[in-house]
Amino acid sequence: MQIEVNNRMIEARPGEMLLTALRRAHVNVPTLCNLEHLTPTGACRLCVVEVEGQRNLVPSCAFPVQEGMKVRTHSPRAVGARKTIVELLLANHPDDCLYCVRNNNCTLQSLAAELGVRERRFRAERSNTYHADTSSASIVRDPSKCILCGKCVRVCEEVQGVAAIDFIHRGSRTHVGTAFDQGLNVSSCINCGQCIMVCPTSALREQSAIKEVLDALRNPDRFVVVQHAPAVSVTLAEEFGLRPGADVDGCLTAALRRLGFRRVFDTSFSADLTIMEEASELVRRLRTGGRLPMLTSCSPGWIKYVEEFHPDFVPNLSTCKSPQQMLGALIKSFFAQREGLDPAKIYSVAIMPCTAKKFEAGRPELGRDGRPDVDAVLTTRELARIFRLRGIDPTRVVPESADHPFGERTTAGKLFGATGGVMEAALRTAHHLLTGRELEELKVKPVRGLEGVKEARVRINGVELGVAVASGLANAGRLLGEVRAGRADLQFIEVMTCPGGCIAGGGQPLGADRDAVRARMRALYQIDRDEPVRVSHRNEAVRRLYDEFLDEPLSEASHRLLHTHYHAREVIR
């Protein structure tokens, strides 16, 4: 249908909301509470517009289009209403923009500038004094900066199926909090950081490790090494003005050396190693009648979700550590021995797209001898801040290769950054382990893409293997519900905590839309298409590691360093 907007005709679709049609026509209408693909609430009222025949302003996010309707999006009345809303929000907001981590990247700040808010017309006497909740290993909550848009609540409940936070109390005392207003550390929070990705202010932010890493780099008694995850190289460049999906892998390595890291390793190497162990574990379970379906264990938010919400599936989890933790263990064992270093003097840093990796690094099950295998985790955003602090633009340095012995990777390891990538890589190697041959078509198309749940049937030696891929924990929860109800046609399930996988993790650049996530995914698929070595079992560095140190997949040495265990958790709900 046709509707008139600001004296020009645009197309609209029956049944859709006005805001959707406006965005498709590139008409900019601000909003603070709207979330794409979720039912609109109309809570913030920033998207109000004038519609001919309507006495009051209407929220465009929750107002259905009608044939022949006439809309004014930026009339004096609509703009005045938006400005008043922003002024009222600012009346109860801290004046610490200069010190805020979201300065120059804050939706509320941007709206204030856009609407010409230059003075404080309203002054609020605060009835409550809120203190920042720093109890979580991954996320900091600052209720004083919360504007009650509700995005974090909805993502946590509707997208992730966790519901660790909600609106509590009433009236002017309303704020977002956990059950019984306790710290995040004792809540059901799984540390995924998707709440941070949608928060328009800095009411939610990651627990920063920047100071600790910079202190270590300045300490002459520390041997500081770093690893970077597969998804980081296709997202970091966005922080420096390049298009989504631009791959800066070699430039990232060079820039990290400029920061002062003694060795730069590629976590894609240990992703290949993970596949060797995980595919071997799957084959063993298939042959010996082990617990099926086997569930992947690379995503720490997913692990905590199973421990809290589905503890009966803990035995189904692969015992493999994540690539981050596998490499961390090898750095302080094999690498330390090879280089003649005291493991206690090695400071191991991981650059991850994920806030839950901060929690994972501190899990006692994943350290040895009272020491963590990974000492600090930086998100993609934190790394960008460090580069800016040191005057380094990683898009303008000469590319370099990662260091041996953990610098070689295959494209299968690189695919770990996208939902379906772990499954695709594992199937390639599992097929080889079971048959001695490579898959005829290495591209496993049914497990690719951004759908929340994807399934495939793969025939190996006359046996049909049922596999499924889920991203976003609400999707994973529904899939586990089907298995619990008796579904028996799946033998292997990959789950990534964040919708889309690590390329859309809670530590990635803020403000990315679905198109940006697709571009990041395409970049990983292009790497897989263009490079020659596409299966993990052909990684020569991984082969040498087994020959020199680990013996073989699932050996005593590999179990001691590369595998772990998980357990049921009790949480406040």
The catalytic residue positions are: 278, 281, 298, 318, 357, 360, 365, 502
Residue whose C-alpha is closest to residue 255's, from 236, 234, 229 = 236
Neighbours of 559 (CB within 10 A): 14
Residue whose C-alpha is closest to residue 374's, from 396, 352, 398 = 352
Phi-psi label, residue 461: left if phi above 0, alpha if psi -120 to 50, beta otherwise:
left
Q: What is the DSSP string of 309-341?
A: H-GGGGGGB--BPPHHHHHHHHIIIIIHHHHT-
Please tell me the distance from the alpha carbon of residue 19 to that of residue 14, in angstroms, as a whole number. 13
Axis-axis angle for helices 380-389, 249-259 (nearest 10): 50
Torsion 545-547-551-552 (CA) sign: positive
Please tell me the distance from the alpha carbon of residue 92 to that of residue 75, in angstroms, as a whole number. 27
DSSP 436: S
Please tell me the distance from the alpha carbon of residue 519 to that of residue 530, in angstroms, as a whole number. 16
Please tell me the distance from the alpha carbon of residue 56 to that of residue 79, in angstroms, as a whole number. 14
- 298 within 8 A of 322, measured Cβ to Cβ: yes
CA angle (343, 206, 157) in 5-degree steps? 120
Neighbours of 160 (CB within 10 A): 26
Residue whose C-alpha is closest to residue 475's, from 261, 97, 194 = 194
Amino acid of residue 29:
V
Please tell me the distance from the alpha carbon of residue 144 to that of residue 130, in angstroms, as a whole number. 5
- 535 within 8 A of 410, measured Cβ to Cβ: yes
Name the burial class of residue 540, with classes exposed (0-12), middle (13-18) and buried (19+) by CB atoms within 10 angstroms of its CB: exposed
Task: Give phi and psi for 224, each to the nearest 5.
Answer: -95, 120
- 380 within 8 A of 210, measured Cβ to Cβ: no
* Enclosing H/E stretch for 11: strand 8-11
Q: What is the dihedral of CA 506, 511, 517, 522, to 10 degrees?
A: -120
Paired residues of 467 in beta bridges? 456, 492
CA 323 and chain centroid, separation? 15
Alpha-helical runs (H) found in 331-410: 336-339, 356-361, 380-389
Please tell me the distance from the alpha carbon of residue 387 to that of residue 521, in angstroms, as a whole number. 24
- 430 within 8 A of 283, measured Cβ to Cβ: yes
